[in-house]
Amino acid sequence: MKKNEFLEKLRKNLGYSRKKIGEYLEVSPTTIERYEKGKVDFTYKTKYVLGICALAGYANEIFTLNEINEDTIADYKLTLFSSKLREILYFLNIEYDEYELFLIKLLQKIYKIGFILNTDYLLKNVDLKDRIINQNLYSQIDAIDFIKNQEKFIYDFKNSLRDKYNEKISDYEIKKLFERDKINFLANIRLEIMVLYTLKVFNPKKFYEENKLPFFFKEALKDFNSFIKDFNHIAPVGIVPIYYWEEDEKQLKTLFPTIKQTIEELMIKGKPVNKETIKEFKIELETGAILSTCNEPTDPKDKQICELLQYAPPAFKDKIIEKLLKFKDEVEDI
């Protein structure tokens, strides 16, 4: 089918009328109709395309193709995490080309440390779009199956290849192939935990398929050693994992208790990902509240303030900041 026909199919599969999805994605129904009928051309970076792809769970790059068939559609299917994150970015009005840079800046401001979030290192070594925003659903499923039962997975996969292509392939070659997916998967889990800690006004449960990833999340959050385990192991030749440097690990270790507590709390309570909560997050982002972090307080009252501050509305936070700045100026004058 042509790309404009596939665009229309995505909308209908979601169960939206042009009017309804136009209201949700803030695009006029007339414009949507013109896209779907091929009267107006669009690209994979068009605002409406980014929105509907996020809702439907597809990488927007599928619209670089003029003809789209069932065989190619699976290649562009996203994980639930990626599609939910894209939804947030869409309603924050972040341009597609700025997705990666926005995530880097957001994470750096939250952690205020270099480690893996060093911009130069990230841009040279880590493709955040592939790891976080463009995660392929089927590669992830393969990685999960491989981790759960390597021997059975290798046996089944080898037989399916022989049946399909009549090819001979060794267990070692198959293991190396899926070891790559395993390394990428575990590296993604670590980055996802940090992204969710950054976007802590949302409920992480909405980012995952039921009964799949939460197990790995819980394992990674048991303690700091389990958080690091497997993420830094030496990869097979030709596979490049993400590494923490020694100094980075020390700094991350100090953050780990807060990250663990935040994620565990949000697994029980939190806000769903939707247009309204994203707009609330945008207000917090613009006021700087979401980017403010408390150092580990020693005074019990200071600790309670830090814990409760996340529930305060932006206007109240502004008043607190105004008062505290006044006290700061008075102390400095003295």
Give the span between the Cα atoms of 21 and 48, in whole angstroms.
10
Q: Which two tokens stand for residue 252?
A: 């991350």
pLDDT of residue 167: 65
pLDDT of residue 182: 77
pLDDT of residue 234: 46
Q: At what angle do helices 3-14 and 18-25 cross, to 10 degrees?
A: 90
The mean pLDDT value of the chain amounts to: 78
pLDDT of residue 265: 86
CB under 8 Å to 331, separation ≥6 — which residues? none
Angle at the Cα of 81 from the Cα atoms of 93 and 142, rounded to 5 degrees: 140
44-78 as b/e, with b when 16 or more CB fall inside 10 Å? bebbbbbbbbbbbbbbbebbeeeebeeeeeeebbb
Q: Which two tokens stand for residue 31?
A: 């414009």
Q: What are the Cα distances from residue 296, in Å, to 159, 259, 260, 305, 310?
A: 54, 12, 14, 12, 15
SS3 labels along 167-236: CCCCHHHHHHHHHHHHHHHHHHHHHHHHHHHHCCCECHHHHCCCCCCHHHHHHHCCCHHHHHCCCCCCCC
Give the span between the Cα atoms of 168 and 161, in whole angstroms.
8
What structural domains does the chain harbor?
Answer: 1-77 (1.10.260.40), 95-274 (no CATH), 277-333 (no CATH)
Angle at the Cα of 59 from the Cα atoms of 57 and 65, rounded to 5 degrees: 125
The residue ranges of the chain whose pLDDT is under 50 are 113-117, 119, 234-242, 291-295
* CB of 117 closer than 8 Å to CB of 305: no
pLDDT digits (tens, 9 = 90+) for 89-123: 999 888 898 888 888 777 766 655 444 445 455 55
In DSSP terms, 78 is beta-bridged to: 136
pLDDT of residue 237: 46
pLDDT digits (tens, 9 = 90+) for 247-277: 667 777 888 888 888 888 888 888 888 888 8
